[in-house]
């Protein structure tokens, strides 16, 4: 099923895809041919050994770049280099994350390192990051935009580093990761690129800082909402829809919001969950993981995470209504609804 064909797929995303994809292809063609090949696989343009091309991601971030730019009066064409840069950074970070996490599946296919090896995948990620910088730097009046993107990159790596370190921490006791720590990590790892995406087209268009700051805040809410939904799908999603194994976050001791919130809750389910997770060996069976997912829900972790995702979206939409032109604010409402669909 092509995602674009889904009725709930917002027209605004399809529209920006048509605008951004040619520029993205053009940028990728400037890479070393082997790097371009690996990038084409990563974007889902080239098939795997079975000839399966991929959805290539949903283009959520470039769509946000263009939408927000248009919403504050910047022409879409001005925002295109920003959209391409943001999508390239996203591709870079997925490729490197999959190496770091040892993940073998993404978007229903093998991950880049699994197909090409760790070294080439690492290098392909570096190439995409260099290309992102290059694309943005070559845009007219890019100084401010480059500052934004480089700051976002620092935050992304910071959040990623926390995410990796959190895996090593105990589920409970003094080492336990708090809901606040989770928010800081997700705000960097997932929030920073959305924050940057929401602002970057406007920055290229010379929009004043006060508005850019609001867009940044809006984007961060959306990025964190998306992360929370991914956390939820990682526990209660359907493998067929997700394209990667369910419950692997829990197996890898990822400190996702539902589990962090559940463990912080009072009551018997939280205590039973703590006992189960503390006792579970790292390679615990799927049945133990399913039991843990049930206890997370009983302890209220699922509900809290769902509420937080909704609150983030509402906060983002309040800002959208405040700063974006009315028709674009409506587009953003459809965009946000799609972003946090629980049946993705």
- The DSSP element (H or E) to which 110 belongs, if any, is strand 109-110
23 binds a second copy (CB under 8 A): no
Strand-pair partners of 110: 105
Cα separation of 38 and 235, whole Å? Answer: 30
162 binds a second copy (CB under 8 A): yes
Between 252 and 342, whose beta carbon lies closer to a second copy? 252
Among 23, 105, 120, 265, binds a second copy (CB under 8 A): 120
Q: Are 85 and 199 in contact (CB under 8 A)?
A: no
Q: Supply the minimum distance, in Å, between the C-beta of residue 250 and a second copy.
A: 19
Task: Assign 232 to helix, strand or coil.
Answer: helix
265 binds a second copy (CB under 8 A): no
Name the token pair of 157: 């790596």
Among 24, 42, 149, 226, binds a second copy (CB under 8 A): 149
130 binds a second copy (CB under 8 A): yes
Handedness of CA 329, 331, 337, 340 (dihedral sign): negative
Cα separation of 65 and 82, whole Å? Answer: 7
Cα separation of 145 and 324, whole Å? Answer: 20
253 binds a second copy (CB under 8 A): no
Between 85 and 304, whose beta carbon lies closer to a second copy? 85
Residue with token string 């927000």: 68
Q: Are 40 and 46 in contact (CB under 8 A)?
A: yes
Q: Supply the minimum distance, in Å, between the C-beta of residue 197 and a second copy.
A: 17
Which residues are CB-contacts of 294 (< 8 A; sequence separation ≥ 6)?
A: none
Which one of 114-122, 169-177, 206-214, 334-342 is the stretch in contact with a second copy (CB under 8 A)? 114-122
Residue with token string 């917002």: 10
CA 276 to chain centre: 29
Q: Supply the minimum distance, in Å, between the C-beta of residue 153 and a second copy.
A: 4
18 binds a second copy (CB under 8 A): no
Name the token pair of 242: 């997700």
Between 79 and 233, whose beta carbon lies closer to a second copy? 79
Which one of 39-47, 64-72, 141-149, 173-181 is the stretch in contact with a second copy (CB under 8 A)? 141-149
Among 23, 53, 104, 161, binds a second copy (CB under 8 A): 161
Among 14, 19, 115, 123, binds a second copy (CB under 8 A): 123
Q: Supply the minimum distance, in Å, between the C-beta of residue 183 and a second copy.
A: 16
Q: Supply the minimum distance, in Å, between the C-beta of residue 61 and a second copy.
A: 17
Q: Identify the DSSP state of 6.
A: S
29 binds a second copy (CB under 8 A): no
Q: Supply the minimum distance, in Å, between the C-beta of residue 95 and a second copy.
A: 10
Cα separation of 223 and 313, whole Å? Answer: 9
Strand-pair partners of 331: none
Residue ranges in contact with a second copy by CB under 8 A:
30-32, 34-35, 96, 99-102, 118-120, 122-123, 126-127, 129-131, 133-134, 137-138, 141-143, 146-147, 149-151, 153-154, 156-158, 160-162, 164-165
């Amino acid at each position: 099923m092509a995602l674009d064909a889904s009725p709930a797929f917002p027209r605004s995303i399809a529209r920006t895809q048509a605008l951004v994809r040619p520029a993205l292809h053009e940028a990728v063609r400037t890479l070393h041919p082997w790097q371009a090949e690996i990038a084409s696989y990563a974007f889902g343009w080239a098939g795997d050994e079975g000839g399966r091309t991929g959805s290539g991601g949903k283009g959520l971030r470039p769509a946000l770049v263009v939408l927000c730019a248009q919403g504050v009066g910047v022409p879409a064409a001005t925002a295109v280099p920003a959209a391409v840069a943001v999508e390239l950074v996203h591709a870079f970070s997925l490729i490197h994350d999959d190496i770091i996490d040892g993940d073998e599946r993404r978007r229903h296919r093998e991950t880049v390192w699994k197909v090409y090896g760790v070294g080439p995948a690492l290098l392909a990620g570096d190439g995409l990051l260099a290309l992102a910088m290059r694309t943005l730097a070559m845009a007219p009046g890019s100084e401010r935009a480059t500052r934004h993107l480089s700051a976002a990159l620092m935050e992304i790596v910071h959040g990623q580093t926390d995410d990796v370190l959190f895996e090593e921490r105990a589920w409970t006791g003094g080492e336990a990761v708090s809901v606040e720590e989770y928010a800081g990590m997700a705000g960097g790892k997932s929030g920073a690129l959305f924050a940057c995406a929401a602002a970057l087209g406007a920055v290229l268009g010379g929009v004043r800082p006060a508005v850019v700051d609001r867009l940044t805040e809006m984007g961060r809410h959306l990025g964190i909402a998306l992360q929370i939904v991914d956390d939820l799908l990682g526990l209660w999603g359907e493998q067929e829809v997700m394209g990667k194994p369910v419950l692997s976050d829990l197996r890898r001791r990822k400190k996702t919001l539902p589990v962090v919130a559940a463990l912080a809750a009072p009551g018997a389910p939280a205590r039973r969950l703590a006992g189960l997770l503390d006792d579970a060996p790292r390679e615990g069976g799927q049945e133990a993981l399913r039991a843990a997912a049930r206890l997370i829900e009983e302890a209220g972790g699922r509900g809290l995470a769902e509420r937080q995702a909704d609150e983030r979206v509402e906060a983002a939409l309040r800002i959208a209504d405040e700063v974006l032109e009315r028709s674009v604010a409506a587009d953003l409402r459809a965009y946000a609804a799609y972003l946090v669909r629980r049946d993705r």
